[in-house]
Amino acid sequence: MLDPNMQYSCALFAEDDDLDSAQLRKLDWICQRLRLRPGLRLLDIGCGWGGLARYAARNYGCQVVGITISQEQCRYAQRWCRGLDVEIQLRDYREVTEQFDRVVSVGMVEHVGYKNYRTYMRAAARSLGEDGLFLCQGICGNFSRVHTDPWIERYIFPNSMLPSLAHLTRAAEGVFIIEDVKNIGPNYDPTLLAWEENFRRTWPRFADRYGERFRRMWRFYLLSCAGVFRARSLQVFSILFSKEGIAIGSDGRDQGQVVSSSRTAVLERSALL
């Protein structure tokens, strides 16, 4: 279902991009927002299958530590990142004691829970040097709620909870300075449609193992979520934090316009750098 970089989070589409290109664009956009450069130490909280850690090490010369609480993802990422300056650890984010120049967390805050948002922000700050940057990127609701859709909770993402932007900014008060907020949510509609297309195309390879009930459930999940993002009921916020306050300006690495396509409309938006 996913792209070759195993990104299970929102891509970043320019006009005529396919999923693979859009996910590469997202990875590079994140690295540039963090102002990564050779020699920096990067902590990836909730590193998934290791795609971002691998990309940052290979393309930006960073030393990366990725953490996950999934044994399967940990084993996969360790194999995939072998030979690179990447260490994948089976560890809870609250247990990290090392210091890093940059901290990133993509698609993980949805699994923290509203009682832990403040703990999450403090853990990221504790892991970050004084002149560092923290990028938190994830799905957010338009309203501050403390419950999840019951169907999604039961069948897709147990123990998940979507924060609002207000949840996260309140949790960061006195811990971080907010440097920049970008909303790439319109890109999730085409991301989900691309996943669903890949799923349908490859379904015969594993139909016998999962069965018709799973096929219907998974398509409902992907397509209903695409509809929610197309309706703008959910967003994806990419929030850049600092501890001491950093003057953000053009450094000659401007992204210019990031084009977001929902297959029927193109939304132009400018990126930070």
Find where tokens 């006195």 sit: 174
- Number of residues that make up the chain: 273
> Which residue among the candidates 47, 136, 140, 225 is catalytic per the annotation?
225
Shortest CA distance to 1 belongs to which of 17, 20, 15?
A: 20
Find where tokens 């991009």 sit: 17
Q: What is the per-residue burial (b if ≥16 Cβ within 10 Å, else e) of 164-189?
A: bbebbbebbeebbeebbebebbbbbb
Strand order in the sheet with 63-68: 86-90, 63-68, 41-45, 100-106, 128-141, 234-242, 177-183
State the Cα–Cα distance between residues 138 and 13, nearest whole angstrom. 17
Is residue 139 within 8 A of residue 112, CB to CB? The reply is no
State the Cα–Cα distance between residues 246 and 248, nearest whole angstrom. 6
Shortest CA distance to 29 belongs to which of 110, 137, 111, 168?
A: 137
225 is catalytic: yes
**Annotated active-site positions, please?**
225
